[in-house]
Structure 1
Amino acid sequence: MLRAVAQAHKRTGAPISTHTHAGLRRGLDQQRIFAEEGVDLSRVVIGHCGDSTDVGYLEELIAAGSYLGMDRFGVDVISPFQDRVNIVARMCERGHADKMVLSHDACCYFDALPEELVPVAMPNWHYLHIHNDVIPALKQHGVTDEQLHTMLVDNPRRIFERQGGYQ
Structure 2
Amino acid sequence: METVAGGIPVDQLGVTLMHEHVFVLSTEIQKNNPQLWDEEKQIDNAVAKLTAAAERGVRTIVDLTVLGQGRYLPRIKKVAARVPLNIVVATGVYTYNDEPMYFAFRGPGRVFEGPDPMTELFVRDITEGIGDTGVRAAVLKVATETEDLPEGVERVLRATAQAHRETGAPIQTHSNALVRNGLLQQKVFAEEGVDLTRVVIGHSGDTDDIGYLRELLEAGSYLGMDRFGMEFIASLEQRVETVAELVRLGYTDQLVLSHDCPCFLDYLTEEQRELVAPSWDYTHIHNDVLPALNKAGVDNERIHTMLVDNPRRIFSGNAPY
- Spell out the pairing of 1:107-122 with structure 2 (5 A cutoff): 107-122=262-277
Shift of 1:112: 1.5
TM value normalised by structure 1: 0.97
Q: Match of 1:31?
A: 186
Q: Following TM superposition, by how much is the alpha carbon of 1:108 offset from its aligned partner in structure 2, in angstroms?
A: 1.6
Q: Which amino acid aligns with 2:283?
A: L
User: 2:298 maps to what in 1?
Assistant: 143
SS at match of 2:200: strand
Deviates more, 1:57-66 or 1:113-122: 113-122
In the TM superposition, residue 116 of structure 1 has moved relative to its aligned partner by: 2.3
Relative to its length, the structure with more helix (as a share) is 1
Match of 1:22 in 2: 177
Identify the residue that residue 215 of structure 2 maps to in structure 1: 60
Query: Per residue, is there more strand in 1 or in 2?
Result: 2
Mapped to 2, the partners of 1:118 and 1:23 lie a distance apart of: 22
1:118-137 to structure 2, matched below 5 A, reads: 118-137=273-292
**Alpha-carbon distance in structure 1 between the residues aligned to 2:204 and 2:276:** 21
Name structure 1 gaps, 5 residues minimum. none
Which sections of structure 2, spanning at least 5 residues, go unmatched? 1-155
* Counterpart position of 1:6: 161
Determine the structure 1 residue equivalent to 2:252.
Answer: 97
Q: Post-superposition shift, 1:120?
A: 2.0
Q: 1:4 & 1:109 partners in 2: Cα distance?
A: 29
Give identity over the alignment, percent.
59
Letter in 2 for 1:14: A
User: In structure 2, what residue type is equivalent to 1:37?
Assistant: E
SS at 1:69's partner residue? strand
Separation (CA, whole Å) in 2 of partners of 1:152 and 1:73: 14
1:72 and 1:4 mapped to 2: Cα distance?
26
Q: Match of 2:317, as an amino acid?
A: R
Q: Hey, what's the Cα distance between the residues in 2 that align with 1:43 and 1:132?
A: 30
Higher relative contact order structure (alpha carbons within 8 Å, sequence separation ≥ 6) = 1
Q: What value does the CA root-mean-square deviation take over the aligned residues?
A: 0.7
Inter-partner Cα distance in structure 1 for 2:320 and 2:212:
29
Task: Measure the CA separation in 1 of the matches of 2:234 and 2:316.
Answer: 31
